[in-house]
Amino acid sequence: MDFRKKSYWVLIAATIAVGIFTLLLRYQTVTADKMADFSDMPLQIGQWEGIEKYFDESVYAILNTDVSTYRIYTGPAGENIAIFIAYFKDQKYGSQIHSPKNCLPGGGWEIRDAENFRYTAEDGEVIDANLFWITKAGTNPQLMIYWFVTRGGVIADEYGLKLDLVSNSIQRKPSDASFIRITTRLIGNQSREEAVEMVSEFLDLLYPHIKKSLPFYE
């Protein structure tokens, strides 16, 4: 390589600049003034009756959440909807919030179909999320829907979450994030379409309370 060429030194300068910029993003974290609080999110809503559930401590150690809630709501016909919401006060560079795409196979689950899920809240907010149909030996098929929420808004995919982390760091915004997952098992002759509609109607009731519990909507 000709060290006298201007292009060589431009490349070196650009590489150094990128390295310094990455270090600044890594260590100049802005912390949120307020964290998530799920204490006021109702367990009974409409005709749905919920109970608070807990994972083993080993699971929480892996998830590394700052605040979370795991609930199972039962409807009038015996149908169940489970919701897990995890809040992280800051995202770490070099690591990623655990994604179902990685965790499901390790738990013995198989992703049969992947679709997009769009939900429009009563206040007009649109949520574009991931929708999986998953199966496991000895169990009925399940519907899983999940998405992320940050200071930048609703994010569906893990790649977008990484880009959002960089964007918020550049804008000196807090890098906190939340992961929302909803699952339900098909029962009886319930179709996929009916299960999706059931979840949407359930969100009509609970989603306003979810928003109140997160610090992104103040």
Identity of the residue numbered 155: I
* Domain map (residue ranges) of the chain: 1-30, 31-217
- Tell me what pLDDT residue 26 has: 53
Task: Compute φ and ψ for 217, nearest 5 degrees.
Answer: -110, 15
What pTM did the predictor assign? 0.82
The separation between CA 85 and the C-alpha centre of its own chain, rounded to angstroms, equals 8
Convert the pLDDT of each residue in 124-145 to its tens digit. 999 999 999 998 877 788 999 9
pLDDT tops 60 at residue 3: no
Convert the pLDDT of each residue in 69-128 to its tens digit. 999 999 998 999 999 999 998 876 545 677 787 777 777 788 888 889 999 999 999 999
Given a contact cutoff of 8 angstroms between Cβ atoms, the answer to whether 192 and 108 are in contact is: no
Q: Work out the pLDDT band at 21, boundaries 50, 70, 90.
A: very low
* Cα distances (angstroms) measured from residue 147 to each of 11, 16, 78: 38, 35, 26
Q: Which two tokens stand for residue 45?
A: 């809503």
31-217 is classed CATH 3.40.50: no
Measured over the CA atoms of residue 34, residue 205, residue 153 and residue 180, the dihedral's sign is positive
More confident residue, 64 or 102: 64
